[in-house]
Amino acid sequence: MTHVPSPSYSTTARVEAPTSSSLLMDLARSISQHGGSVVAIDLVEVTTTGVRVDVTFNAVDEAHVETISGGLQHDGYQVRSVSDRTFLAHLGGVVEVVPRTRIRTRDDLSRVYTPGVARIASQIATRPETAWNLTGKGNTVAVVTDGTAVLGLGNVGPLAALPVMEGKAALFKSFANVNAFPICLRTASADETVAAVRAIATGFGGINLEDIAAPQCFEVEARLQDVLDIPVFHDDQHGTAVVVLAGLINACRITGRRLEDLRVVVVGIGAAGTAISKILLDSGVRDLVAVDRDGPLDRQDPRLLPHQREVVSRSRARPVESLEEAMIGADVSVGVSRRGAWDPRILSKMAPDPIVFALANPEPEAYLEEIPPGGLLATGRSDLPNQVNNALCFPGIFRGCLDARSSTISSRMQEAAAHAIAGAVSDAERAIGVIVPSLFHPDVHHAVAAAVEAAAVEAAAPRGDG
């Protein structure tokens, strides 16, 4: 399988070479011949003996970076240094705390801190609801993990999870102007995680759970939502589900299908697979086959875990014996497992114009060349079309919740977010197979926030007797 060079392996090599009128073209040719993608070539210095040039390129992985650098050496260039731009971007972390009020004089200090701040503390002690306006609580989210299910890396621990939580905090601020703090907990059980989050929740307007392994993540989320009066959202579950629903709405528009008529196969009934199954069933899908590592789930199996039993009990799908049988005639397949969980050739058994969500990271269950003709593919990768990226929803969802001062994130609010994301794709974009918008779409985060706020306000509004 040939993979595409990615900005996650963006590298700058400082090269020394003799002066030549074709130098820049020759450098680009050398990198391209070794499978790299040239991003930029910058002239650093010209001397009497030659030139120094910074060549920036994308590669597939670390071994590929070494191959490209070795190729430059082989072609007669002196590679003096190689810098990994991703590591450079994370030096010192990707977030920082910046005060909203400047402190330049003793007068400023007296208002921001003591003695003036005592008046604010007294006000909040008397009227706790004013903390939402008089502190940062109303615009602050905790991004919480225990490091047990980090990206595609697995249980790497809370310290290794820190750069991921920092990155998520940066996305909150960049896309929805929500302040977010990475909280990495060294906890060993659901009880410890719930207790820790409950203890720190006072200072936050919402809790975004991240990279917590199943099935513990289900218990942690449910228990925290029961004991806290602020929204709790496990992004790996519900964030993925929201974006999948958005993509499926548009895929149905493209292929002339209706949600209620779809035959859907979901492979991998962990955190994301369970949430995806639930939101699809909530949205009208009736025929959904849930497949785990041992095959299709059987509602009669006494070994089913509670979250698995909930999914299969709600589906009207007929019993099947194997994944291959489940794929026969299926309109939609959703993979949230791993590369190799299925043989991509079984996709040919799906209905014409199949819709495939291959969401395993970093290697999806299927690539574009493995999709049957006429099929639509979505993955979790940024270098392939239709990236199912949780960042399409979580900044706007929390922005809407905070603005509405909602205490929960209901299924109705999640569905509203999905429809807002789907609506950000234009008719012209859908005509070429685009089913989810770019993360950098100028309106999508605002649209999600507005839709979620409206759904929260509607749910909170008193009902007439009719």
Domain boundaries, the chain: 6-89, 106-134, 139-230, 237-466
- Average pLDDT on 32-36 reads 94
CA atoms of 276 and 334, how far apart (whole Å): 9
Per the structure block, which two tokens stand in for 31? 């990198």
- Residue 54: which region, alpha, beta or left (left: phi > 0; alpha: psi -120 to 50)? beta
Q: Determine which helix (DSSP H) or strand (DSSP E) holds 66, and give its type and residue range.
A: helix 62-74
Question: Given a cut of 90, is residue 342 above it in pLDDT?
Answer: no
What is the rounded average pLDDT of the residues 162-181?
96
pLDDT at 249: 97
pLDDT digits (tens, 9 = 90+) for 182-200: 999 999 999 999 999 999 9
Domain at 237-466: CATH architecture = 3-Layer(aba) Sandwich (3.40)
> From the candidates 9, 77, 137, 168, which is the catalytic residue?
168
d(CA 101, CA 280): 45
- Average pLDDT, integer, range 297-319: 88
Q: Which CATH superfamily is domain 139-230 in?
A: Malic enzyme, N-terminal domain (3.40.50.10380)
N-to-C CA span, the chain? 62
pLDDT of residue 316: 86
Count CB neighbours of 214 within 10 A.
Answer: 21
What is the number of alpha carbons within 13 Å of residue 47 lying toward its C-beta?
10
Question: Could you read off the pLDDT of 129-171 as tens digits, one per residue?
Answer: 999 999 999 999 999 999 999 987 889 999 999 999 999 999 9
CATH fold of the domain at 6-89: Alpha-Beta Plaits (3.30.70)
Handedness of CA 250, 251, 255, 256 (dihedral sign): negative
Residue 168 among the catalytic residues: yes
Does residue 127 sit in helix, strand or coil?
A: coil
Quickly state the pLDDT bin for 47 (edges 50, 70, 90).
confident
Does the structure show a pLDDT above 70 at 390?
yes
DSSP 408: -
- For residue 216, pLDDT beyond 60: yes
139-230 and 237-466 have identical folds: yes
Element holding 222 (H helix, E strand)? helix 216-227
Q: Residue 54 pairs with which residues in a beta bridge?
A: 14, 42
Length of the chain: 466
Q: 431: buried, middle or exposed (CB in 10 Å: 19+, 13-18, 0-12)? A: exposed
Task: Examine the pLDDT at 408 and tell me if it is beyond 60.
Answer: yes
- pLDDT, residue 460, reads 78
Cα–Cα distance list, 376 to 58, 234, 279 (Å): 27, 27, 20
- pLDDT confidence tier of residue 1, bands split at 50, 70 and 90: very low
Q: What pTM does this model have? A: 0.90
pLDDT at 406: 95
At 465, the pLDDT band (50, 70, 90 cuts) reads very low
Tens of pLDDT, residues 88-128:
999 999 999 999 999 999 999 999 999 999 999 999 999 99
Q: Which of 113, 137, 278, 349 is catalytic?
A: 113
Query: Phi then psi for 254, rounded to 5 degrees?
Result: -70, -40
Phi, psi at 55, each rounded to 5°: -110, 120
